[in-house]
Structure 1
Amino acid sequence: MSSDIVPLATSASDIYSGQFDEHQARFQQLSEEFTRIYGTPPAYIARAPGRVNIIGEHIDYCGMPVFPMAIELDTLIAVAPTDTQEVRVANTKHEKYSAFSFTYCEKDIVYIDSSVHSWANYFKCGYKGAIEFLKINNPKGMNCLLDGHVPTGAGLSSSSAMVSCVVLATFNINNAQLSKEDIVNISVASERYVGVNGGGMDQTCSVMAQRSSALFIEFSPKLNTTSVRFPKTDPEISFVIANTLVVSDKQVTAPVCYNLRVVETRIASLMLAKYLGLDKNPQISNVDPLTMKIIMDVYFANKDNHPSDSVDSWIFRLSEMLSHTQKLFSNKPDGYTWEECAEYLNITVEDIKNKVHVNKFPVRAEKLQLFKRSVHVYSETLRVVKFRQICETADASINPLIELGKLMNESQDSCNKLFDCSCEELNELCQISINAGATGSRLTGAGWGGCTISMVPSNKVDSFIQTVKSQYYAKHHPNLTEEQLEDVIFSTKPGNSLDSSYTVSIDYGIWHYLIPARISLAWKYTYVLKIFC
């Protein structure tokens, strides 16, 4: 099986690290519910996992590398083709997510109203992106049933998992087999139809992740992924994910949160290019969007006075870019007005807004925090590179648990003070985690709510979780049951690589019904599960 193509699985054991009967029972229940709704069994079940970002927040859309890992919490879509061009979609959580349908339209494929916050929009944008890429005017109709286990608004990439899963399902129903990179690029572009100007980390991790490893993802000058294993330590490295239960929806808050941060980094890039004398360079002036990574690459393209080793080169370049950024923006630490940015660039405010596509992704701000945002981007990237370096370097003089934890703590401090994407609950949960024995703790995902990720020695995980339950959840959510708590705080550690699984057909007659169980994390793939009935 080519590593460039999304695998076709025939059993839950092809995908998950354990609890196979329970996962297979979930597939069976999904198939049975699909058959009850539509009268026929599904042809495929497409799967895409969520992700947790270990370090590297809000820098993917700046072209900088990030360091996430896929998780076992996932989105499934059972799907079957129809003879019409109608797409019918239902959700197993139908009390919360109403069923909907639409019919393919040759003019715009499907209408998406980005001003309306609806789960249907995420499905539609994945479908639209897939059909646009396939360039077909007679796509097959689809009956779909979605089952999502990635909590929404928690920073674990529920929306991107859904969009990637829809793209994958649409391809397979229309007999198209595309590379993982194609699916990533289509999913990234598609999600912007809902009005969020996101990067590519979530979709890349969902599609490209490997078992037993985190993923070092580079976006510029081209997409490149490197699997990175965590160093062996005694005790072993474990991670604990804890949900603040503060829901932050990127689409709803985008004008003052997510999209605004993207715009601020884009304007900072324009001004930095002029400061460095690069604004007339075709590699800069002809690029849209212009990112801080592109500026760094062009600036150092003809310079020979930096180390040739890739990691040392990253560190050298990022350190120098941090220095330039501080010299340019530090005179206005409280922010720039739109007019001040326009004056520096010698263009109008309207020109700036057109360059950063405010018409597509509206924002609201009187002042743009260019100093804080740009310092965060370059310093956070430096932490990502150092994190990878520690993981890959066998240096007996350092304790990886301590050194990696320090980088995570520095990241949280930067997210809170420079990028302003944390919140009181995230800060509190991180501090409780450090006091409870974590060597590092930080927000994960876009922030403004959602989850934290903490690095914890494996021999302290149980006591750590109990402390967080008593000091955070008992205080803020005293009515949560123990079963509910197991869904909002859970642990994982890097597992061993699994050998290739056998391809076996699934006999529904021997599957068991789903038993409620603790959800664990693992490093997994996006999959298409073929149903044999």
Structure 2
Amino acid sequence: MADLASRLQQRVLASFTAAYGAAPTSLVHAPGRVNLIGEHTDYNDGFVLPCAIDFHTLVAARPRDDTRVRVVASDFGDRQDSFWLDAPIERLSDAEQGWANYVRGMVQALLADGLLLRGCDLAVAGNVPQGAGLSSSAALEVAIGQAFKTLQGLDVDATRLAQLAQQAENRFVGIQCGIMDQLISARGAAGHALLIDCRSLAAQAVHLPDDIAVLIAHSRVRRGLVDSEYNTRRQQCEAAARHYDVAALRDVDTDRLLRDRAGLDDLTFRRARHIVTENQRTLDAAAALAVGDMARMGALMAASHASMRDDFEITVPAIDHLVEILQDVIGRDGGARMTGGGFGGCVVALLPESRVEAAQAALTARYRAPGGESATVYICHPSAGAGPLPFP
């Protein structure tokens, strides 16, 4: 993993120097994330249990003497974008420049929050897999915010930075995501998951047992939130909250879910049932993980996956098959489930380090994506959140 980080740093620094003819003065990072349990609960004011991972977006930066922002994207053939801070920042419609909207949206959110920004030159590179449900977009947004914070010494803490990154995605990019992705990218703790209360934004670090590996298997079924039914699921949850006359489904427990369901159509009820039960599973999972009860953690992950499959209907057959393969290897010593928004992407597994090799072999032997590809497997470690990095 150290080699990957070193190559990524070399790449972003080379892109910066090639584009601008000078070296940057700052280098910052923001990690991707994997959610261990608690899916689609974040925008319902509920609980989530993600950890930041050691795959990152890096931004090299240098201040300018004017109000122009220039950006070069190392991951997209060094394509460039530029805009001015004292002119309206417009959303780009060119699909090939979609990456630039996350940059523009984050800058717009910083300005709208009243922060005084100066122009700068930026280069961006990342190794967070895109379209996999590991929050490459949140890592990009948070990294851009961190770059301005580091360059200018902005008085904005990690939680506020995450909130502004969420606003960028909601209001500028147009994806109605919750706060989890940005918050874990900004506030991750090395060696820990974070139990996040998405209403209060309180976060409790939960230590992962030292002998447990975090395995992420990419199904090679590419997903895109804008084109998926993510926003539809959010609308269905909001409809259920209106039925129960609460601000969010966080405020409904299982007793009330059943007692007051009269008049709620079956589809919307099942969506609500997933959220209500997933919130409780997430709290129970944090408690199990904290004491190293991996059998209990595995059972909760299995129940979460079944709920996403049957009630929320966001898994696909390839994802279900990945979970089955991994669970066969793990047994009662951990668990596996879909992670992310759904409709493809990745599975996350918690398993003893001693079974990683067997899990990888089983995936190689038993899994093929609809297009015939093997799963891509990442072995991750819980990482620290966004911040500056030293560089030569």
| TM-score greater than 0.5 by the shorter chain | yes
Match of 2:350 among 455, 458, 462: 455
1:372 aligns to what? 270
List per-residue Cα deviations over 1:198-254 (Å, max 9, x = no partner). Answer: 11111111111111111100122x21111011357xxx332311000111111232x
Alignment of 1:173-322 (within 5 A): 173-192=151-170, 193-220=172-199, 222-231=200-209, 236-253=211-228, 257-273=229-245, 290-293=247-250, 295-296=251-252, 321-322=253-254
* SS of structure 2 residue aligned to 1:329: coil
For 1:413 and 1:93, the matched residues in 2 are separated by 36
Structure 1 position 125 matched with structure 2 position 105: yes
Contact 1:114-1:194 within 8 A present in 2 as well = no
Unaligned runs of 5+ residues in structure 1 are: 1-17, 274-283, 285-289, 297-320, 335-368, 395-399, 492-519
For 2:342 and 2:109, the matched residues in 1 are separated by 27
Change (3 A) 1:459 1:118: same
* SS of structure 1 residue aligned to 2:39: coil
Contact 2:51-2:184 within 8 A present in 1 as well = yes
Contact 1:194-1:251 within 8 A present in 2 as well = no
1:489 aligns to what? 377
For 2:301 and 2:358, the matched residues in 1 are separated by 21
* SS of structure 2 residue aligned to 1:239: strand
Aligned-pair CA distance for 1:391: 2.4
Aligned-pair CA distance for 1:115: 9.5
Of all paired residues, the percent bearing the same amino acid is: 26
For 1:458 and 1:267, the matched residues in 2 are separated by 43
Structure 1 position 525 matched with structure 2 position 361: no
Change (3 A) 1:30 1:67: same
* SS of structure 1 residue aligned to 2:24: coil
Aligned-pair CA distance for 1:530: 4.6
When normalised by structure 1's length, the TM-score is 0.68
- Tell me which moved more, 179-188 or 166-175: 166-175
Change (3 A) 1:530 1:393: closer
For 1:377 and 1:388, the matched residues in 2 are separated by 17
Match of 1:142 among 109, 120, 124: 120
Unaligned runs of 5+ residues in structure 2 are: none
Change (3 A) 1:25 1:443: closer
* SS of structure 2 residue aligned to 1:33: helix
Contact 1:129-1:167 within 8 A present in 2 as well = no
For 1:145 and 1:215, the matched residues in 2 are separated by 30
* SS of structure 2 residue aligned to 1:119: helix
Match of 1:40 among 16, 22, 31: 22
Aligned-pair CA distance for 1:170: 2.1
Amino acid corresponding to residue 226 of structure 1 in structure 2: Q
Contact 1:209-1:524 within 8 A present in 2 as well = yes
For 2:390 and 2:143, the matched residues in 1 are separated by 14
* SS of structure 2 residue aligned to 1:134: coil
Q: What do you get for the CA RMSD once the two structures are aligned? A: 2.3
Which structure shows the higher strand fraction?
Answer: 2
1:387 aligns to what? 285
State the aligned residue count: 388
When normalised by structure 2's length, the TM-score is 0.92
For 2:62 and 2:8, the matched residues in 1 are separated by 18
Contact 1:81-1:173 within 8 A present in 2 as well = yes
Larger radius of gyration: 1
* SS of structure 2 residue aligned to 1:249: coil
